[in-house]
Chain A
Amino acid sequence: DVKVTQSSRYLVKRTGEKVFLECVQDMDHENMFWYRQDPGLGLRLIYFSYDVKMKEKGDIPEGYSVSREKKERFSLILESASTNQTSMYLCASSRTALLTDTQYFGPGTRLTVL
């Protein structure tokens, strides 16, 4: 079974802090994704990566950056956390860049910014 893990289930940070959310997949998948999920807005793509050191902006990249130094790990960085970044963050991966491939999701990180 594919396993996607996220570093924290719950996280509380203060405004202005630098926040790192980490995601690891154990199936040698090429693609990795970061989404955020908010009530009434659904899931929205922040960034994705199709290879090591490669990244593409999604629909809402502002205020975020990402890092993929190793194939299995994809980090989401909030350079200076703000209260409007309080959300559920979901990481996903897929085997290849083919659009026919299934995406597998991690358990999510519930981030609260005070």
Chain B
Amino acid sequence: KQEVTQIPAALSVPEGENLVLNCSFTDSAIYNLQWFRQDPGKGLTSLLLIQSSQREQTSGRLNASLDKSSGRSTLYIAASQPGDSATYLCAVPNSGYALNFGKGTSLLVTP
């Protein structure tokens, strides 16, 4: 079964720093990888979806990369802001159409 791991589990940075969140997966035969954001007590918001044929996707200050062969993805956040504070989850689809999620990285950006 596909296992998805996110490191670190928690991260605290001062405002303005660039940061990288990591996601690894055990089965490299993935169709895509998706990054989500979750604010406390809320649902998930899709940030970026990288198809297996792509190496990276960008949206504003966010850049996600995918290296299938090594089973890794990174989410790069440039010039972090307090409003970026949230939990970030990565997920890959399994053969049954649902998503396998990592347990997330809880990010705190301090003013």
- Residues of chain A having any CB pair with chain B under 8 Å: 4, 31, 33, 35, 40-43, 45, 48, 50, 56, 58, 88, 90, 92, 94, 97, 99-100, 102-108, 110
Contacts and interface: CB of A to CB of B under 8 A. Distances in A.
Contact of A42 (B45, B97, B98, B104): B104
27 contacts: A4-B43, A41-B103, A42-B89, A42-B101, A43-B89, A45-B96, A45-B98, A45-B99, A48-B96, A56-B96, A90-B44, A92-B44, A97-B97, A99-B31, A99-B97, A100-B51, A102-B46, A103-B91, A103-B99, A104-B46, A105-B43, A105-B45, A105-B46, A106-B43, A108-B41, A108-B43, A110-B41
Contacts of B101: 42-43
Interface in B1-51: 31-32, 34, 36, 41-46, 49, 51
A1 B51 CA distance: 21
Interface residues of B, number: 23
A48 B31 contact: no
B97 A94 contact: yes
B75 to A, nearest CB: 16
A108 B38 CA distance: 11
A110 B34 CA distance: 24
